C-alpha cells in the first residue's frame, strides 16, 4: 500500500498532466506514492509510459452528464473507490506545486496537527463558490480520519442556476446579483464540504490564496457597504487571514492568469484552472513553471 495515492482527472489537454506527473516525480524523489488518472477523454491521448507508478483508468463520456462538473466528479468518485493509502490527494492537472519534498511535508504537517482535510480553497475572486474549505483543485485527505466511503465529489448545481436566473429576471444590478449568490454555487466536492465543513470534530487546514483586492481599495460607498455586510452576502471573505495580499512572485514573471497559493507564508503552488486551451496557450502556461522554479528558493 502506498502511503499517498494521488488522483487526477484527465480531460482535454493531457500536456498539463504529463508535465505535472514529471514535476511531482522530480520534486518528491523519496516519497512513497502512486498516481491514479481517470481518463475522461483527450486528444492526443495521455502519455505516462515513463512512469511506472501511474495507473490509467477509463473514464466517462461527457455526453452522459448535464455539465462538466458532474463529468469531473464521476471520475473522481471512481478513482477514490480504487485507492488504498493513508493519504489521498485530489489534484487538478494544472495545479503545480513548486516546493521540494512537499508530499512528505504536507502529510507530516497534517499528522502533527491532527488535520483531516488540507488543501487549496476556491480562490476568493470566485465569490459564488464555497469558502473556508479545501477544493478538489488540491485536496489532501487523511484516510485514517476520513473514511473513503464518506467521500462523494458530486456537485449540487441546480439551485445556483435557478437562483441566478431568477435574480437576473428581476433586472437587478450586477452587484446585487453577485451579493445574493455568494457561496451558492455548490460545485465539485460540495458533498464533501456538506459532510465535513461544519463538523467541529474534523479539523481542516488551508493554503492561503493570494488576492490583491481589499475593501480599503473601494470607493467610499462600496467600502461602507462591504464593511457592513455579513460574510454570507459579501464578495470579500471576512474571516481574518483567509487570504493574503502579499504576493511572492518575482517581478517580471507573467503568470498567465494563474492563481497563487501560500503554505506557512511561503510560495506553495499555482493553479491555471482551465485545461481547455489552445496548444499555444498550454505551452505558454507550462513554461511559467520552470521560469518560476529558476527564480525562487524552493527550500523550506
**Euclidean distance between the first and the last CA atom of the chain, given in angstroms as a whole number:** 28
Distance CA 298, CA 300 (A): 7
C-alpha distances in angstroms, 96 versus 19, 88, 92, 152? 9, 17, 9, 24
Distance CA 132, CA 206 (A): 8
Q: pLDDT tens digits, residue range 243-297?
A: 999 899 988 889 999 999 999 999 999 999 765 567 778 889 999 999 999 888 6
Produce one character per residue of 17-44: b if its CB has 16 or more CB atoms within 10 Å, e if not: bbbbbebbbebbeebebbbbbbbbbbee
| C-alpha torsion angle, residues 173, 176, 178, 179 (rounded to 10) | 170
Q: Which residue has the higher pLDDT, 50 or 208?
A: 208
DSSP-assigned letter for residue 132: S
The three grid cell numbers given for residue 114, joined into one nine-digit string: 491532527
Which range among 10-14, 115-119, 142-146 shows the weakest confidence by mean pLDDT?
A: 10-14
Q: Is the pLDDT of residue 163 over 60?
A: yes
The dotted CATH code for 4-157+186-209+237-295 is 3.90.550
Distance CA 121, CA 153 (A): 15
| C-alpha torsion angle, residues 98, 256, 117, 84 (rounded to 10) | -70
- Count of C-beta atoms within a 10 Å radius of residue 45: 11
* Over residues 50-72, mean pLDDT: 90
User: Judging by DSSP bridges, how do beta strands 204-206 and 117-121 pair with one another?
Assistant: parallel
CA nearest 188: which of 117, 139, 144? 139
> Band of the pLDDT at 96, cuts 50, 70, 90?
very high
pLDDT (0 to 100) of residue 277: 66
pLDDT (0 to 100) of residue 47: 83
Q: Are 165 and 275 in contact (CB under 8 A)?
A: no
Distance CA 120, CA 134 (A): 5
Distance CA 151, CA 195 (A): 9
pLDDT (0 to 100) of residue 298: 47
Cis before 56 (ω within 30): no
> Band of the pLDDT at 184, cuts 50, 70, 90?
very high
Q: pLDDT tens digits, residue range 213-239?
A: 877 677 777 777 788 899 999 999 999
pLDDT (0 to 100) of residue 43: 75
Distance CA 273, CA 172 (A): 29
Give me the percent of the chain exceeding a pLDDT of 70: 96
User: Judging by DSSP bridges, how do beta strands 266-271 and 95-97 pair with one another?
Assistant: antiparallel
* Over residues 10-32, mean pLDDT: 93
Q: Is the pLDDT of residue 149 over 90?
A: yes
Q: Are 83 and 74 in contact (CB under 8 A)?
A: no
Q: pLDDT tens digits, residue range 194-209?
A: 999 999 999 999 999 9
Which of 289-296's residues contact partners 24+ apart within 8 Å by CB, and which partners?
A: 289/19, 289/23, 289/96, 289/98, 291/253, 292/98, 292/249, 292/250, 292/253, 293/98, 295/250, 295/253, 296/98, 296/248, 296/250, 296/267
* Over residues 73-91, mean pLDDT: 95
Looking at mean pLDDT, say which of 101-115, 147-161, 248-262 comes out highest: 101-115
Amino acid at each position: 500500500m502506498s502511503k499517498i495515492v494521488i488522483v487526477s482527472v484527465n480531460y482535454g489537454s493531457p500536456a498539463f498532466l504529463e508535465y505535472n506527473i514529471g514535476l511531482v516525480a522530480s520534486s518528491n524523489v523519496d516519497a512513497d506514492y502512486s498516481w491514479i488518472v481517470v481518463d475522461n477523454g483527450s486528444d492526443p491521448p495521455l502519455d505516462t509510459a515513463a512512469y511506472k507508478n501511474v495507473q490509467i483508468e477509463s473514464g466517462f463520456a461527457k455526453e452522459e452528464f448535464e455539465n462538466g462538473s458532474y463529468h469531473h466528479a464521476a471520475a473522481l468518485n471512481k478513482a477514490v473507490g480504487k485507492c488504498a493509502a493513508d493519504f489521498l490527494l485530489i489534484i487538478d492537472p494544472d495545479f503545480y506545486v513548486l516546493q521540494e519534498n512537499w508530499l512528505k511535508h504536507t502529510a507530516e504537517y497534517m499528522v502533527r496537527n491532527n488535520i483531516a482535510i488540507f488543501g487549496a480553497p476556491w480562490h476568493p475572486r470566485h465569490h459564488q463558490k464555497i469558502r473556508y474549505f479545501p477544493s478538489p483543485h488540491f485536496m489532501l485527505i487523511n484516510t485514517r480520519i476520513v473514511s473513503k466511503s464518506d467521500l462523494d465529489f458530486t456537485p449540487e448545481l441546480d439551485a445556483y442556476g435557478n437562483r441566478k436566473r431568477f435574480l437576473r429576471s428581476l433586472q437587478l444590478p450586477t452587484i446585487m446579483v453577485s451579493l445574493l449568490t455568494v457561496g451558492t454555487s455548490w460545485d465539485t466536492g460540495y458533498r464533501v464540504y456538506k459532510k465535513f465543513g461544519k463538523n467541529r470534530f474534523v479539523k481542516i487546514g488551508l493554503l492561503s490564496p493570494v488576492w490583491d483586492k481589499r475593501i480599503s481599495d473601494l470607493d467610499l460607498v462600496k467600502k461602507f457597504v462591504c464593511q457592513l455586510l455579513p460574510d454570507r452576502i459579501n464578495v470579500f471573505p471576512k474571516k481574518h487571514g483567509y487570504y493574503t495580499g502579499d504576493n511572492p512572485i518575482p517581478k517580471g514573471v507573467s503568470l498567465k492568469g494563474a492563481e497563487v497559493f501560500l503554505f506557512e507564508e511561503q510560495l506553495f503552488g499555482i493553479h491555471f484552472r482551465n485545461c481547455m486551451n489552445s496548444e499555444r496557450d498550454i505551452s505558454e502556461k507550462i513554461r511559467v513553471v520552470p521560469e518560476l522554479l529558476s527564480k525562487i528558493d524552493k527550500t523550506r
